[in-house]
Amino acid sequence: MTIGDEPAGEYDAVIIGAGFSGLYMLYRLRELGLRCLVYEAGSGVGGAWFWNRYPGARCDSESHFYCYSFSDELLQEWTWSQRFPEQREILSYLDFVADKFELRSDIQLDTRVTSSIYDDASRRWTVETDRGGTVATRYVISAVGGLSAANLPDIPGLDDFEGRWYHTGRWPHEGVDLGGQRVGVIGTGSTGTQLIPVVAEQAAHLTVFQRTPNFSMPARNRPLDPETVAGIKATYDEIWRRAKASPGGMPLPAPIQSFDEVDEAEARRRYEAAWEHGGVLVLQQFNDLMTNPESNEFAASFFREKIASTVHDPDVARRLMPTSYPIAAKRPVLDTNYYETFNRANVELVDVKATPISCITPHGLRVGEHEYELDILIFATGFDAVSGAFAAIDIRGREGARLVDKWSDGPTAYLGLAIAGFPNLFTINGPCNPALLTNVPVSIEHDVEWIAGCIEHLEREHIATIEPTEQAEQQWVQHVADAVDGTLFLEADSWWLGANIEGKPRRFMLYVGGHDDFRRRCTEVAEQGYEGFLTVR
């Protein structure tokens, strides 16, 4: 579809977003013979991987399972070059997918959906865009992504800043020349941790403004040699079988022992071995990491010892050590040379928890009374996760009810897939879903396939609308709350809890019960004739 070709008229399904979710949703709904339209705000496909082009952007899942599993041909045709793929390579992959399956003709780029309003009489949604287009559709599928609404903190003075500033989630396509510049980075989450070592190598001077230190573990990224690639390609069936049967959507061994079952020397040996192996395996050693404070503290001290032995200046090392929350209660982070970067002469760490940022000045950033002079300021300050992208669209369901009102105490959805009061609206990776705690593409494929299966059922049975009952939704929301209750997940101010956004209700937005458990539950619901859903013919 080309710009200027404004879509109009009637569709069977409108999909919002052309990232990992939207592309596959289009593929599946086309297979059902539906007339589909995808709206995408970016000028290309790729979603998160289209927008997050900051230096060092990379995935924390290994490339050979951070991809689609649905097409054997695609698995054999595409070859990943590194253990952990960088943004550019993932974006090339998604472009390759869009071309291979000829998806582009149904995708309208550069178009942001502004409203989606349900009409009770016609049982149709009217979807409107910022380009003035309006279409009617029977189904709306949100593929907006859980981490797409950039969070720019409201620090006074930004308008007066005379240097350049960027948010990592909206990085300029032409890149940013950091050579010879005095750069400041606010934020040390996954993004900051990837960005900081690369910026340090390019900039004249880097000041890192850290509010909360993160626990980070080495990725140990490396190129994939042809033999490894051949081995992966020959065993894909097994890789996906294991990934789909696992809590994290990854083909990695799940921990079967608790911390108490081994002595300290053995626990240390396991952590050391996993640290050397690299990747997320480090936090997969004991099954009680998030329920047993002793198990958690052992892992946390192991990480703090690693920081102490890597960072030369003991005071800087101390400031980099998280002590105020359990390990993995915020999204754990993978890095390449993060702690080592603080040994460089051109890098300075500023603790903005002890003394908060007071304002941005024309020439830099003021922390307490001290002004740090900067040419470039980078916000690695994350996202208004899960609900942020929905809030940007005026979504109204039956009898004009607004989704933002329904979600005033925090976002909720039945299985994270559908919302009571909003017929024929489906949400891939919606709230109360485990996707954002897992290897996301595996969860996305599950959600897309479940939604496609549901729509196929509706079409076959000539059912006009489907939506969850209030009761089923409430029971699921309670189950999601019970699953996280009593765990250490609730003891940190994470974006999972909505705690990173001022004024956002504090509610754990994701299901911690695991991908495997969730998949089983969703299959049962479908097999039992869409238990918990209300249908109208």
Out of 116, 181, 191, 246, the only residue in the binding site for ligand NA7 (CB under 6 A) is 191
Q: Is 153 in the site for ligand NA7 (CB under 6 A)?
A: yes
Q: Is 386 in the site for ligand NA7 (CB under 6 A)?
A: no
Q: Is 238 exposed, middle or buried (0-12, 13-18, 19+ CB in 10 A)?
A: exposed
Q: Report the site for ligand NA7 in 100-139 (rule: CB under 6 A).
A: none
Closest by CA to 428, choosing from 390, 402, 384, is 390
Q: Is 382 in the site for ligand NA7 (CB under 6 A)?
A: yes
Q: Do 6 and 133 form a contact (C-beta atoms < 8 A)?
A: yes
CB of 381 to ligand NA7, least distance (A): 4
Tokens, residue 342: 């603080």
Side chain identity at residue 129, one-letter code: T
Residue nearest to ligand NA7 as judged by C-beta position: 189
Closest by CA to 128, choosing from 256, 118, 120, 369, is 118
Q: Is 188 in the site for ligand NA7 (CB under 6 A)?
A: yes
Q: Is 87 in the site for ligand NA7 (CB under 6 A)?
A: no
Cβ-proximal residues to 127 (8 Å cutoff; 6+ apart), any chain: 14, 16, 39, 113, 115, 116, 134, 135, 136, 137, 140
Out of 221, 381, 387, 427, the only residue in the binding site for ligand NA7 (CB under 6 A) is 381
Applying CB under 6 A, what is the total number of residues that bind ligand NA7? 21
- List 209's β-bridge partners, or say none: 186, 350
Cβ count within 10 A of residue 274: 18
Residue nearer to ligand NA7 on the CB measure, 419 or 497: 497
Q: Is 197 in the site for ligand NA7 (CB under 6 A)?
A: no
CB of 151 to ligand NA7, least distance (A): 7
Residue nearer to ligand NA7 on the CB measure, 158 or 308: 158
Q: What are the E-state strand segments in 455-499?
A: 465-468
Side chain identity at residue 54, one-letter code: Y
CB of 333 to ligand NA7, least distance (A): 8
Q: Is 233 in the site for ligand NA7 (CB under 6 A)?
A: no
Q: Report the site for ligand NA7 in 320-339 (rule: CB under 6 A).
A: 331
Q: Is 500 in the site for ligand NA7 (CB under 6 A)?
A: yes
Out of 1, 32, 239, 352, the only residue in the binding site for ligand NA7 (CB under 6 A) is 352
Q: Do 101 and 36 form a contact (C-beta atoms < 8 A)?
A: no
Q: Is 248 in the site for ligand NA7 (CB under 6 A)?
A: no
Cβ count within 10 A of residue 196: 27
Closest by CA to 74, choosing from 516, 453, 445, is 445
Residues that bind ligand NA7 (CB under 6 A): 147, 153, 186-192, 209, 211-212, 331, 352, 357, 380-383, 495, 500
